[in-house]
Chain A
Amino acid sequence: MSLREKLASGKFVVTAEVGPPKGVDIEEMKKNAELLKDRVDAVNITDQQSSVMRIGSLAGAHLVKQWGLEPVFQMTCRDRNRLALQSDLLNAYVMGIENVLCLTGDHVALGDHPDAKPVFDLDSVSLLAAIKGLEQGRDLGGKELAGSPRFFSGASVTPCAEPLEPQIIKMEKKVKAGAQFFQTQAVYEPRQFETFMQSVKHLNVPVLVGIVLLRSAAMARFMNTNVAGIFVPDALIEEMDKAEKKAAKGIEIAARLITEMKDMCQGVHIMAIGMEDRVPAILDAAGL
C-alpha cells in the first residue's frame, strides 16, 4: 500500500527522513535507508536542507525507491524557478515518485553558499497549485501536457509558532491549493499540539506530527534560540541534562512524545538528523 492508501485507510503512518550526502559517496545514505526499511511507511528526502549544497532530493528519492522504500520527494522553492520546478515534477513522475512535500525552503543566507541568488519564484502555496494544474493537464503557462502526472502532495506547518494564526491561515491556503497531507515542524509540547489540532479540525486533512530526536541539552537550547517554531520546555532540557546516557534518554523522550500525541493525529514524522540508526529503537519504545 502506498502512503496515500495507508492514510486513506486510517492506518497510523510513520515517516522518517534521509538526507543525501555532500559528495557522491552514498554508502552511508544507503545504510540509513536500509535501517529504516520495513520500519517506516515512507522516507522524506530532504532538498539541500539548511541551504547546504549536496545531492538533490530528486536523485535521492530515485535511489531510495530503488532500495525498496517509498520516498517523499521534498521540494523547496529556494533554488528553482517555475520552469525547473514543474520540469522536476514531471521528472519525478516518470521515475515513479508519487509523494511530494512542498516547502518554501530556508533562505540561502543560512547555508554554505550565502552569496547565491535566492529564487522563490513560486511559494509553497503556488507550488501546490502548480501540481494541481499539471494533474489537470496544464502547466503554469496555460499550455497543454501530453499525458498528465498524478501526485500525493503534502505541505508543512508549524504547530507551535507564536503567533499561531498566520500559520493556520497559510495552512488553509495550502489545503485550498491542493495539499493532501501535512508533516509538521518538531513538537515538544503535546498540550499545545492538541490545541493546534483542534483549530485545524475543519480542514479534515491528515497530519503527521514532527519529532526531532534530542541529542543533548545543548542541542535543545540551541534549537530554542535559533530554530523558528521549535520550543523545548525546560523540564525536557533538564531531563536531558541529568541523564547519564544521552542517546537512550533522547530515544525515551521521542517515544514518550509519540505515545502522548498518537491519538491526536494520523501519523508521525521522525527527523533524526544524522542519527537514523536510533529510529528503530524509538519505534520499538513507542510500540510502533
Chain B
Amino acid sequence: MLVSEMKPLEEVLGYLDGEGKVFIVGCKGCAEVCQTGGEPQVLEMKQTLEQQGKTITGYTVIDFLCDKALTKLRLKAHEDEVMAADSLLVMTCGIGVQATAAVVDKVVHPACNTINLGGARGEWRGSERCRECGDCLLDMTGGICPLTACSKSLINGPCGGAKNGKCEVEPEVRDCGWHLIYERLKKLNRLDKMREVLPPKAYSKMEPPKHLRSTIMWALEQDEKEEAVR
C-alpha cells in the first residue's frame, strides 16, 4: 500500500501552465483507497480543470498503475487521446507517475504527494522507486525520481561523478539518474525544468504523518493480539 494525498491545486495548475490539453490518469489500487486517484477524483479533477479553461482529451482509471505492462496496454487503448494532449496528469503515488512516464513519451505531471507509511510498501516489479518523500518532485524531473535514481539523491542536477552515463557507485550496473533525467527532459523539449534552482528538500515531510503512524501502530498491535488468540 502506498499512501498518497492531493497536492495543492495551485501547485498542479502551476505544472499545467501553458498547456491547454491534458489527459488524466487514475488508479484503482492504492490511489482509489486513498481517494486521490479513483474514478470520482479523476472526474472531479476533469471538471476543475475544465473550469480553468483546460481541454481534457480523455481519462482512464487503470487497475494498478504500478503494473507497467498493463499501464502500457491500457494507455494504448487511449492512444489518440493521449497523443492529442500536451501532458498527462497522474493522480497516484510516485510509482504510478514514474511507470506512466516510462511508457509514454509525453510530459507527465504528478497530482499527488506520496507520504511515508513507515513500514508497509507497495508492490511493483519495475525499476521505478518511490521514497515516499511527501513532496513529489517528478514534475521537475521528467517523471524520473532524483531521490531514488541518483545515488546521492541530488535535486539540482548531476554531480561530476558520472562517466559514460553511468554512476560512480556501481558503474557496471547503475545509470546516472541525472543523465536519464537530462535525456528525457531533452527529448520532451523541457530542459527549462532542469534550470530551476530548487531549495533544500523538507526532509521533515519524509516522516510518516502522526495520524497515519498511530493508525498503523494500532493495526499492527491488533494483528499481534489476533495472532496470539489463534
Interface residue ranges, A against B (CB under 8 Å) = 77-78, 82, 104-107, 109-110, 118, 120-126, 129-130, 140, 156-158, 161-163, 165-167, 169-170, 172-173, 176-177, 185, 226-229
Contact = CB atoms under 8 A, between A and B. Distances in A.
B178 A166 contact: yes
Interface of B: 151-164, 168-170, 178-179, 182, 186, 191, 194-195, 197-200, 203
A123 B163 contact: no
Contacts of A124: 156, 159
Contacts of B159: 104-105, 123-124
B164 A123 contact: no
B199 A158 contact: no
A246 B71 CA distance: 60
Contact of B152 (A120, A125, A130): A120
Contact of B154 (A120, A158, A163, A226): A120
24 contacts: A77-B152, A78-B152, A104-B161, A107-B168, A109-B151, A109-B168, A109-B169, A110-B168, A110-B169, A120-B154, A121-B200, A123-B157, A124-B156, A125-B157, A156-B160, A162-B164, A166-B157, A169-B157, A169-B195, A176-B197, A177-B197, A226-B163, A228-B168, A229-B160
Nearest to B203: A121
Contacts of B194: 166, 169
Contacts of A229: 160, 163
A123 B155 contact: yes
A107 B160 contact: no
B16 to A, nearest CB: 23
Contacts of B195: 169, 172-173
Considering residues B160, B170, B191, B194, which has the most beta carbons from chain A within 10 angstroms of its beta carbon?
B160
Nearest to B199: A126
Contacts of A165: 182, 186, 191
Contacts, number: 93
A274 B203 CA distance: 39
A104 B152 contact: yes
Nearest to B153: A120
Contact of B169 (A107, A123, A157): A107
Nearest to B151: A107
Nearest to B154: A123
B177 to A, nearest CB: 11
Counting from the closest, the 5 A-B pairs by CB-CB distance are A170-B157, A104-B159, A125-B156, A228-B163, A120-B152
Given A126-B200, A129-B199, A166 B154 contact: no
Nearest to A107: B169
Given A156-B160, A162-B164, A169-B191, A104 B154 contact: yes
B182 A163 contact: yes
A62 B191 CA distance: 41
A176 B157 CA distance: 14
Given A120-B153, A169-B191, 14 more contacts: A105-B159, A106-B161, A109-B169, A121-B200, A125-B198, A126-B199, A161-B160, A162-B164, A170-B157, A173-B195, A173-B197, A227-B163, A228-B162, A228-B163
